[in-house]
Amino acid sequence: MKTIDDLEVAGQRVFVRADLNVPLSGDTITDDGRIRAVAPTIAALLERGAKVIVASHLGRPKGEPDPQYSLAPVAVRLGEILGTPVAFATDTVGDSAKATVAALGDGEVTLLENLRFNAGETSKDEAERGAFADRLAELADLYVGDGFGAVHRKHASVFDLPARLPHAAGLLIEKELGVLKRLTEDVARPYVVVLGGSKVSDKVGVIDNLLGKADRILIGGGMMFTFLKAQGHEVGASLLQEDQIPVAQEYLARAAANGVEFVIPVDTAVSGGFPDVKNRAPVEDFAVVDADAIPAGALGLDIGPKTAQLFAEKLADARTVFWNGPMGVFEHPAFADGTRAVAQALLDSEAFTVVGGGDSAAAVRILGFDETKFGHISTGGGASLEYLEGKTLPGIAALEA
């Protein structure tokens, strides 16, 4: 795989596929980690006299412009971080993009509007995706892939565009792949994996592969309820993936057979409804219950204090930790304790610690932890999971071709 050092970028139009999919509240960026993560690549290209065209998706618009998913606030923040103005194109391949790119001088940078405002970006139809990639290719001479958080997507800007231009990997992708190699080759043991979050079906797959690699697997977040149910417990109104129950049962059996310690919560923090995350209103009916006594109608929203203690013990002697997915609805202070406890346990251990996942990384920062104290905070949750599952990542394969 080529790196940016292998490209002659001076005076060239360089398309940088970044992942600037940051959490927004209105047009305020609540966590700018992904912008800071790609800034060194852009800065290096600008330094070498490139005309840099940055592109990204944001959220899940439906293939047409949708103002709530505009990258305009990101252009402002990117400019602050780079210390240079970022010209913003109000479309992706239209008149504004063409004019903005044409006006770029050497060492200048523009950000295009959200790639997903175009149906071709995410289309399953190769021809439709290819046609959009053709239009993107007209804007640039070279391609740099640095949107690690999107490399598991077979999207036009990730997969089809690099096939149309001389290409290389950016600094962020180089770094992320280096870390993932440390989790798959010659892992320092005990190797402990902590999984949580809400995208249960996305994450169940990785367990399959980890059952042959990790020494311990700790399950929190929304996923825990599928495992509790698999063990025969009632889970009230908690997040549950019915169709995954047999899979969960099979994993529990295989873990026991393989000598992998599979740790499932023993208690959970519940409420009768989803908390008001926006206003952080107090939760009147907050309660902690044992995992085998979740009342009907109760919604499990965090691991409980006994589980937090148990997880901390299971992490104490780890030499390698991979953590993906918050332990609870950390966006509300009533349900942030489990996530905070796991983050603290990572810091208290001597392990090489990797935190993956957009929300997990944001949680660490929003809860006030010093991100530099972690071994690595990945910008890609789905991407790092799929890598650990042993899948081919389309955006990496395209850069290697």
Beta strands 352-356 and 376-377: pairing type? parallel
Rank residues 141 and 386 by Cβ distance to ligand ADP and give the closer one: 386
Residues of this chain that bind ligand ADP (CB under 6 A): 196-199, 221-222, 239, 300-301, 324-326, 328-329, 331, 357-360, 381
Q: Among the residues of 290-367, which ranges form H helices?
A: 305-316, 337-348, 358-366
Q: What is the DSSP string of 126-143?
A: HHHHHHHHHHHHHT-SEE
Choosing from 222, 236, 325, 358, the catalytic residue is 358
Q: Residue 190: is the preceding peptide bond cis (ω within 30°)?
A: yes
Q: Is 199 a catalytic residue?
A: yes
Question: Distance from CA of residue 187 to its chain's centroid?
Answer: 22
Which of these segments, 10-18, 93-101, 277-285, 357-365, binds Mg ion (CB under 5 A)?
357-365
Q: Which does 331 bind (CB under 5 to 8 A by kind): Mg ion, ligand ADP, none?
A: ligand ADP
Instruction: Examine the residue annotation and report whether 34 is marked as an active-site residue of this protein.
Output: yes
Contact with Mg ion (CB under 5 A): which of 359, 364, 383, 388?
Answer: 359
User: Annotated catalytic residue: which of 199, 216, 314, 340?
Assistant: 199
Residue among 61, 190, 196, 358 that touches Mg ion (CB under 5 A) = 358
221 in helix, strand or coil? Answer: helix
42 vs 341, beta carbon nearer ligand ADP = 341
- When CB distances are held under 5 to 8 angstroms depending on the partner's kind, the choice from ligand ADP, Mg ion, none that residue 176 binds is none
Active site residue 124: no
Contact region with Mg ion (CB under 5 A), list: 111-119, 162-170, 356-364, 384-392? 356-364
Residue located via tokens 């892939």: 145
Cβ atoms 314, 263 nearer than 8 A: yes
Nearest approach in angstroms of CB 80 to Mg ion is: 25
Report the nearest approach of ligand ADP to the CB of residue 357 (Å): 2
Nearer to ligand ADP, 90 or 198 (CB): 198
Q: Which is nearer to ligand ADP, 147 or 196 (CB)?
A: 196
Side chain identity, residue 330: F
- Min dist CB 328 to ligand ADP, Å, is 5
Q: Within a 10 A sphere around the Cβ of 60, how many other Cβ atoms?
A: 11
For the CB of residue 325, give the shortest distance to Mg ion in the complex, in Å. Answer: 8
Closest CA to 111 of 136, 89, 142: 89
In the complex, least distance from residue 236 CB atom to Mg ion, rounded to whole angstroms: 24
Residues paired with residue 268 on neighbouring β-strands, in sequence order: 289, 303
Q: Which of 17, 34, 153, 216 is catalytic?
A: 34
Residue 45: count of CB within 10 angstroms of its CB: 27
**Nearest residue to Mg ion, scored by beta-carbon proximity:** 359
Identity of the residue, 89 or 355, whose beta carbon is nearer to ligand ADP in the bound complex? 355
Contacts of 13 (CB under 8 A, 6+ apart): 50, 51, 53, 101, 104, 139, 140, 141, 142
CA-CA distance, 188 to 182, in Å (whole number)? 9
> What is the closest distance, in whole angstroms, from the C-beta atom of residue 84 to ligand ADP in the complex?
30
248/259 Cα distance (integer angstroms): 16
Query: What is the closest distance, in whole angstroms, from the C-beta atom of residue 191 to ligand ADP in the complex?
Result: 19
Q: Which does 221 bind (CB under 5 to 8 A by kind): ligand ADP, Mg ion, none?
A: ligand ADP
Considering the complex, state which of residue 201 and residue 258 has its C-beta at the smaller distance from Mg ion.
201
Sheet containing strand 352-356, edge to edge, reads 261-263, 216-219, 191-195, 320-324, 352-356, 376-377
Tell me which residue has its CB nearest to ligand ADP.
357
- Point out the residues that are catalytic: 34, 199, 358, 382
| Binding residues vs Mg ion (CB under 5 A) | 358-359
